[in-house]
């Protein structure tokens, strides 16, 4: 998801993409701009290249809920920093339709932390660069989602090399403690006190 900034309910989704991965291949890419029904801060527009003019005639979130629920049904929800995307998505779906979504989630940041301890950071840029994956349209929903899907496929190959062949195996891997003790960080972005995008 791309959003107007911080956490819901004050901030809203401006663009969303879903990439369906099946049998080791990207099968479908769904993307749409979303009218957030509120203004987009200028520094967010500079980061995402999404302006009010682009979203003012886009569908409101309530109009795309049936499509999103169809994409989610029966699938594992995967995102790079899954907690952020899941919380926005679940909040917006509940706000628009009253439906509560549940399901398995997989965070590629956490997976990369287990499988790529040699990387200094596990941002999407670092993980994609490590695998030689080009991100076309960074900070746009489809560009980031396609890159995440490609990283996921590479990470799953690495996990399989370590004997992870089932969902339960992956969950066990994710629960393993890293040898380095790190300070726990929030999935939410830090509050913005100044424009650092210039």
Exposure letters 148-184 (e unless 16+ CB within 10 A, then b): bbbbbebbbeebeeeebeeeeebeebeeeeeeeeeee
- Angle at which helix 108-115 crosses helix 167-175, to 10 degrees, equals 70
Contact 122/112 with Cβ under 8 angstroms? yes
166 membership: H or E segment, kind and range: none
Active site residues: 139
For 16, residues 6+ apart whose C-beta sits below 8 A from its C-beta are 1, 2, 31, 32, 34, 64, 68, 89, 141
Q: Which three-class secondary structure state does DSSP give residue 176?
A: coil
Euclidean distance between CA atoms 167 and 178, whole angstroms = 20
């Amino acid at each position: 998801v791309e959003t107007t900034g911080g956490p819901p309910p004050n901030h809203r989704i401006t663009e969303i993409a879903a990439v369906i991965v099946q049998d080791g291949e990207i099968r479908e890419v769904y993307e749409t701009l979303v009218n957030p029904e509120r203004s987009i801060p200028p520094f967010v527009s500079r980061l995402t290249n999404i302006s009010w003019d682009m979203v003012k005639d886009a569908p409101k979130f309530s109009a795309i809920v049936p499509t999103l629920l169809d994409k989610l049904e029966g699938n594992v929800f995967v995102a790079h920093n899954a907690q952020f995307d899941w919380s926005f998505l679940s909040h917006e779906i509940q706000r628009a339709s009253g439906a509560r979504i549940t399901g398995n989630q997989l965070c590629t940041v956490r997976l990369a932390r287990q499988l790529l301890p040699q990387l200094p950071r596990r941002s999407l840029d670092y993980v994609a660069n490590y695998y030689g994956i080009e991100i076309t349209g960074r900070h746009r929903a489809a560009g980031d989602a396609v890159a995440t899907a490609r990283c996921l496929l590479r990470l799953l190959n690495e996990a399989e090399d370590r004997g992870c062949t089932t969902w339960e195996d992956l969950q066990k891997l994710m629960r393993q403690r890293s040898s380095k003790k790190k300070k726990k960080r929030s999935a939410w972005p830090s509050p913005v006190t100044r424009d650092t995008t210039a």
